[in-house]
Chain A
């Protein structure tokens, strides 16, 4: 794996049932590449939480994953409402999700904190009314 490999996924924002499919596919890809199980799990969970967030809050988006020799980079891009206060959104327990989302097992204000927990680097670029781009990296070595 001398050159980076790239993967692109469209995340459907209409159907909560299918949310997570991109992460499942990415996990299979990482297994095929022979990455260590702990790295695969961290990438999968970070991406899965991001994917769920895109479906819940932004009506879907796209996920791009770059696998290099040294790290796995996940870039999640949506054209949703944006995050008004990123610092507040990063606090465990803070959520703007509706009760209906909570009844589905998400919206407990753990999504972004989990994404940070499982990545070695995370940057959120968001503009209210325009959308959000989240870049995460999980180091391989």
Chain B
């Protein structure tokens, strides 16, 4: 799914990475616990979270994720935006709640992540 489609489906705003909206993501993960994200996500995924701190960006970077959606109208800090720009990660914000945002993406064909064992 294109990041631009995610933006449209979630009625989201782009915080940074506007020029990268044509990139694709192949799986998704919704969580506020970063260790869960680190345990289960495959690459080229989108992370949906309500957590706002620098470790969200670093977690995404470690997992080669290329898009983060902040739910419940959470706004990333200037430091986070800077880190995301350095790592080439698109940041979006949506007013939707985590459950709803995940449900919309899932029902439009973006299934969840696969477990790495």
Contact = CB atoms under 8 A, between A and B. Distances in A.
Is the contact region of chain A dominated by helix, strand, or loop, or is it mixed? helix
A105 B51 CA distance: 7
Contacts of B64: 37, 41
Interface residues of A, number: 27
Interface stretch (B3-11, B52-60, B89-97, B101-109): B52-60
A27 interface: yes
Interface stretch (B16-24, B35-43, B67-75): B35-43
Contacts of B61: 24, 27
Given A27-B62, A41-B43, A19 B35 contact: no
Contact of A110 (B38, B55, B62, B117): B38
Interface stretch (A5-13, A44-52, A63-71, A125-133): A44-52
A20 B58 contact: yes
Contacts of B49: 105
A141 to B, nearest CB: 19
A105 B116 contact: no
A102 B51 CA distance: 11
A117 interface: yes
A36 to B, nearest CB: 12
Nearest to B33: A108
Interface string A50-93: 00100000000000000000000000000000000000000000
Task: With a 10 A CB-CB cut-off, give which of A44, A48, A117 has the most chain B CB atoms.
Answer: A48
B63 A49 contact: no
A94 interface: no
A44 B36 CA distance: 15
Contacts of A37: 43, 64
A59 B38 CA distance: 22
Nearest to A23: B62
Interface of A: 16-20, 23-24, 27, 37, 41, 44-45, 48-49, 52, 102, 104-111, 113-114, 117
Interface of B: 32-36, 38-39, 43, 49, 51, 53-56, 58-59, 61-64, 79, 116-117
